[in-house]
Chains A and B, each alone.
Chain A
């Protein structure tokens, strides 16, 4: 049994971790009524989530480009 993750799986893991951290930041800032909360939400949560989504989308693209074995 091969336990080594493929590059696509690795990217999905990285994207997932970034998304989870971004979502946690959003969750924490939701109940905090202060301008700093909005900045955290936008600059930290938003950036992490955007990066996670981009990495996930890239993993979809690379998954479709399987290298030729010939």
Chain B
């Protein structure tokens, strides 16, 4: 990722130097070589820099640090560190069941064809609510959490497929897989980002690596 930033920075600086030259000496564009230089410096390089920059920003927006950079998310970030094995986000984060550097995105993207784009469009809605509107407190999801996001990782896993709670009633598993019985809303795994109890919670201290 740092390498990508360096490449984009170099591309931008080269573009600025070449364009700066053209701005100071626009008469060079009357020559064939000047025309080619202008085409590369004023079209090809900026388009490349813009595209690579957009890609870098999209990648960056998946990071936990990015999601928690708005202070309205502070408590949700803290809830990842609560020392409570029943708290679903905390056990996923602390046990590396999701990548720590992309913890929010991993659970809150849609695992569909355009899921990442949908997630980013929702992100723009968050920014709008943050700057123009009033974010609801506590923050609520726009729609019920879809089991698809859990099953993206858990489907086929022994702990999920052979769990007594999932297999005792033969109707349970098909209903979970059809999203008719919500993982987080059915009362089974509903201890999610419980920020109301955060003040009394003990926080896990991560060991320095």
Contacts and interface: CB of A to CB of B under 8 A. Distances in A.
B53 interface: yes
A56 B54 CA distance: 22
Given A12-B29, A23-B12, A23-B16, A35 B43 contact: no
A38 B130 CA distance: 14
Interface in A17-49: 17, 19-20, 22-24, 26-27, 29-31, 33-39, 41-42, 45-46, 49
Q: Give chain A's interface secondary structure class.
A: helix
Contacts, number: 99
Interface in A35-69: 35-39, 41-42, 45-46, 49, 52-53, 56-57
Interface of A: 5, 8-10, 12-13, 15-17, 19-20, 22-24, 26-27, 29-31, 33-39, 41-42, 45-46, 49, 52-53, 56-57
11 contacts: A8-B29, A16-B19, A16-B20, A16-B26, A29-B53, A29-B57, A33-B65, A35-B69, A36-B127, A39-B127, A41-B57
